[in-house]
Structure formats: structure tokens, C-alpha cells
Amino acid sequence: MVNVTRVYTRTGDDGTTALGDLGRTSKNDPRLVAYADTDETNSVIGVALACGNLPRDVQEVLTRIQNDLFDVGADLAMPLRASYEWEPLRT
């Protein structure tokens, strides 16, 4: 039997949630919807790839899209800054 452990941090009770740098943003921030949709799309592609029976060229395109979606999701999870300490992956 699986034992489900419940985790309550209570950090979101004030209507905010953590970003990738542990900063906080409103749960109404449009970025949250965007990266949730990005993550869901990425998951659907993963299921399609796992089910198999796709032509090789389709697998390659979906794999590339999936990798790009991981990058987009990571970008959306980070707060916007005027400048960064690293070179951007995409412009």
C-alpha cells in the first residue's frame, strides 16, 4: 500500500507562491498560468513519445520541442531582471 505524506508549507496562504529564485509572486501572476500550460504541454509530448509508434522524424521534432519547452518553463519560473549575470540562452 502506498502511504501518501501530506506536505503543508503554509507559505502560499497569503496568496503568493515561490519562483525559481525563491522570490515570491502573486498566485494571479499570468506567468504561473503560462508555465503551468507549458509544463502540461511538455507532459503530453512525453506521453506521446513514451507510447511509441511515431515516425523517427516526428520523434525528433517532438524531442526538440520538449527540450525547448523545458527552457521556456525555466525562464517563466524566474523573475524578470534588468540585467543578468549570465548570457541569455535565447533572445
Segment 21-80, tens digit of pLDDT: 888 888 898 988 898 899 999 999 999 999 989 999 999 999 999 999 999 998 888 877
Residue 85 lies in a domain: no
C-alpha cell recorded at residue 52: 511509441
- Does 88 have pLDDT greater than 70? no
Residue 52 lies in a domain: yes
Residue 83 lies in a domain: no
* 0.85 exceeded by pTM: no
Residue 4 lies in a domain: no
Query: Which residues does residue 24 pair with via DSSP β-bridges, in sequence order?
Result: 18
Cβ(66)–Cβ(45) under 8 Å?
Answer: yes
Q: Give the residue numbers spanning the domain of 56.
A: 28-77
C-alpha cell recorded at residue 63: 524531442
Residue 53 lies in a domain: yes
Residue 17 lies in a domain: no
- Does 7 have pLDDT greater than 80? no
E strand or H helix that includes residue 76: helix 56-77
Amino acid 37: pLDDT: 95
Instruction: Name the domain count of the chain.
Output: 1
